[in-house]
Structure 1
Amino acid sequence: MASTNSHLASELFVFLHGFTQDGGVGGGGQIAKYIASLFHVSVEQPNLNQPSFNEFSISNAIKIIDKLYDEKQKQKNEHIKMNLIGASMGGYIAARYAEIYPDRVKKLFLLCPAFGLAARWREFLSDEDLNRWKTSGSYAYDGRQLHYGFFQDITENHPPYPQVSCPTSIVHGKSDRIIPIEASRKFIDEQKSKELIKLVEVDDDHYLTKSVFQIIPIVSQFLL
């Protein structure tokens, strides 16, 4: 393991959680723990719900990753590259971050990534609901209020399918009803560098709890 760690010295492993109030998401957290144990590295798990879940946005999440990257680079005093592991919304954020900062990201490992996000919300909410959200400024989601700035941000500032230029592995459940697997298939179709991306389709839902032991060897081989 020592030889493995030597080439990981200038790398940073970061797990980006999904769209939840507490940052938890199915099998994603278990995968993050496994990576930490396997590679004997710390896996950073920033809270993307800052300043609060009510004020969550993709742009704010990217700023949080920026801050983490800057802090770690100052500590190491050298250029570092990140391996981003993202679940659901965190998967989209990871890909978007890699599009904005290609020189900072080495690899992406994405679990049921939330591509095509704005269109998905439009399927979920009627035009009347969206207008009410815009007028009132907030929408009741999972027992909390979510500000309209979240939807405005994903429609105006972030593409549905970011372009990535680093090796990317995606695991997506074929029975995912929250983010259908077609979103990951379309993501690949939209890429200029399709050869860098691999999609593994598993018999599972959005949370991938039944597929953890199937995912472990995939992530191990990919990140080595």
Structure 2
Amino acid sequence: MPTAATVPYKPANRCIYLHGFASSPRSRKAVYLKDRFAKTGIKLEIPDLNQGDFTHLTLTRQITQTAALFNNFNIPITLIGSSFGGLTSAWLAEKYTQVQKLILLAPAFGFPSSWFHKFPQAELKQWQESGYKDIYHYGKDKLLPLHYEFLRDGNQYDTNKLKRSLPTIIIHGKNDDVVPIEVSHQYISSHSTAKLIALDSDHGLNDVQEIIWQEIQDFC
């Protein structure tokens, strides 16, 4: 694990993209950004956060999986995270000073409270009692069971405890009905080094990919 000392930023940093919940490294944004990075001679690393076991996905597992990639403490890391991958990126930056820049695309800062409000109480109770609930997986294009531990584990992560300030841009759609843009406004209000870029788009941000790429280039 990196020490608490600040790691000097170097141009030859690593760039890692963390895809969203129920998505995959083959999502439209992931494929688009990987291609754009490749054209500049930079490899964009995109781990599969499903790990072949979407059913037992948790925020803790994503953090642990990604942190295992931080095998060279001398190389700074830029994390690009989409939605749940954005939330994961923020927690990684909190725990690992090797992470020196954040690019967050509609980060799921409202998790897990947003999920507790998303479902009727009876449905949540049934999920908790049975242990599993079928969730549509966009990467697999089918319903897959998700264990209730996904919510229980997420409940230990309080976004208000994200205190570290580092160069950060948040790109969020004004018409996002999955993760309201208000959560990003709240985040930047307590992080002076974070900048919010609000776009006329929805949660997927797939219709503004060129703008996202331009913002990433300007930022990095």
- How far 1:212 moved relative to its partner? 1.2
SS of the residue 2:150 aligns to: helix
What is the match of residue 165 of structure 1?
165
Instruction: State the partner residue of 1:3.
Output: none
Gaps of at least 5 residues in structure 2 are 1-9, 137-142
Counterparts of 2:27 and 2:85 in 1: how far apart (Å)?
10
Deviation, 1:123, is 1.8
Structure 1 CA distance for aligned equivalents of residues 132 and 116 of structure 2: 16
User: How far has the Cα of 1:180 moved from its partner?
Assistant: 1.1
Where does residue 216 of structure 2 map in the other structure?
A: 219
Q: In 1, are the aligned partners of 2:25 and 2:46 still within 8 Å (CA)?
A: no
Task: Return the alpha-carbon distance in structure 2 between the equivalents of residues 52 and 120 of structure 1.
Answer: 23
Q: 1:115 to 1:28 in 2, by over 3 A?
A: farther
Matched with 1:37 is 39
The answer to whether structure 1 residue 153 and structure 2 residue 156 are counterparts is: no
Q: For 1:47-85, what per-residue CA distance to the aligned partner results, in whole angstroms no more than 9, with x for missing partners?
A: 111251111111011111121112xx1xxxx61211000
Summarize the alignment of residues 37-116 of structure 1 with structure 2, pairs less than 5 Å apart. Answer: 37-38=39-40, 40-50=41-51, 52-70=53-71, 73=72, 79-101=74-96, 103-116=97-110
Q: CA RMSD in A?
A: 1.6
Gaps spanning 5+ residues in structure 1: where?
1-6
**Residue number in structure 1 paired with 2:202:** 205
- State the 1:122 CA deviation: 1.4
**Identity among equivalent pairs (%):** 32
In 1, are the aligned partners of 2:34 and 2:43 still within 8 Å (CA)?
no
How many residue pairs match? The answer is: 204
Counterpart code for 1:53: F
Please report the TM-score for the alignment, with normalisation by the length of structure 2: 0.87
- Letter of the 2:131 counterpart: G
Whichever structure has more helix as a proportion of its residues is 1
TM-score, normalized by length of structure 1? Answer: 0.85
